[in-house]
Amino acid sequence: MDKKKTVTKTEVNLNISPPRFHVAEFKIRGIAPYVQNRFSAKAMQMMREKQESGSQGAKGKKREAKDFHACYEGAMHVSEEGWHGIPAPAFRNAAISACRVCGFKMTHAKLTIFIEADGFDQIDSTPLVRITKGKPEYVEHHTRNETGVCDIRPRPMWKSGWEAIVRVRYDEDQFSLEDVTNLMMRIGLQVGVGEGRPDSKKSCGMGWGMFELCGK
């Protein structure tokens, strides 16, 4: 005789708590040079013109002389108010990357930690963290293009000792203040920001963009 199975339905009530965000402020000081390599507005315009003209536009066109100083100026992030800044996403990306050595899921960190911007880039509205101490200096570095051809790139460099105040907004249900402080320390000593940082995607870096905490 067949026995009928009895299925018991259980109702589960989900309890979603409201987000509890807190903002912590960290003063950082560069222990290595910080180098920027912003994609300039001129390079963007040249790329646009080339794509609009198609294959015919490239034929017989003379190559313009390279304005090294203009390339240097174009590689900086300047706010709408005129001050220099570091892209806020650089710190957020670095925080997410640092989670790899902390045992915290990077996918969770993307929804947990954010950087408060001090202003926005005057050209493309990139959120910026203001550089409060230090001035850029003109430097030239050799590099290889995607085609393998060696090229000279003028870039702005802030020497060691540059400073900024980074405001970190984090979910208190995921991170404590101590966690965020330790994460910022790891960003400064293991990940870095800007060109030539240790966590560079295309190389092992130059040791640039590293910093220490000097207050919170």
- What pLDDT digit, counting tens, does each position of 62-121 carry? 677 788 888 899 999 999 999 999 999 999 999 999 998 888 888 889 999 999 999 999
Over range 152-164, report the average pLDDT: 94
Q: How many CA atoms lie within 13 A of 212 on its CB side?
A: 5
Please state the φ and ψ torsions of residue 203, each to the nearest 5 degrees.
-160, -175
Contact 78, 122 (CB under 8 A): yes
pLDDT tens digits, one per residue of 87-103 = 999 999 999 999 988 88
For the chain, list the strands marked E by DSSP.
21-30, 34-35, 85-87, 113-116, 119-120, 127-133, 137-144, 150-158, 163-171, 211-213
C-alpha dist (Å) from residue 90 to 127, 185, 188: 10, 15, 12
C-alpha dist (Å) from residue 29 to 52, 75, 156, 211: 44, 22, 18, 5
Q: How many CB atoms lie within 10 A of CB 179?
A: 15
One-letter amino acid identity for 216? K
Q: Examine the pLDDT at 168 and tell me if it is beyond 60.
A: yes
The whole-number pLDDT of residue 50 equals 61
Closest CA to 182 of 171, 190, 194: 190
Give the chain's mean pLDDT.
Answer: 86
60: left (phi over 0), alpha (psi -120 to 50) or beta: left
User: First and final CA of the chain: distance in angstroms?
Assistant: 74
More confident residue, 19 or 59: 19
Closest CA to 118 of 96, 88, 95: 88
Contact 116, 85 (CB under 8 A): no
Q: How many CB atoms lie within 10 A of CB 51?
A: 9
48: helix, coil or strand?
helix
**DSSP single-letter state for residue 207:** S
pLDDT band at 152 (very low <50, low <70, confident <90, very high): confident
pTM of the model: 0.82
How far is it, in rounded angstroms, from Cα 20 to Cα 113? 12
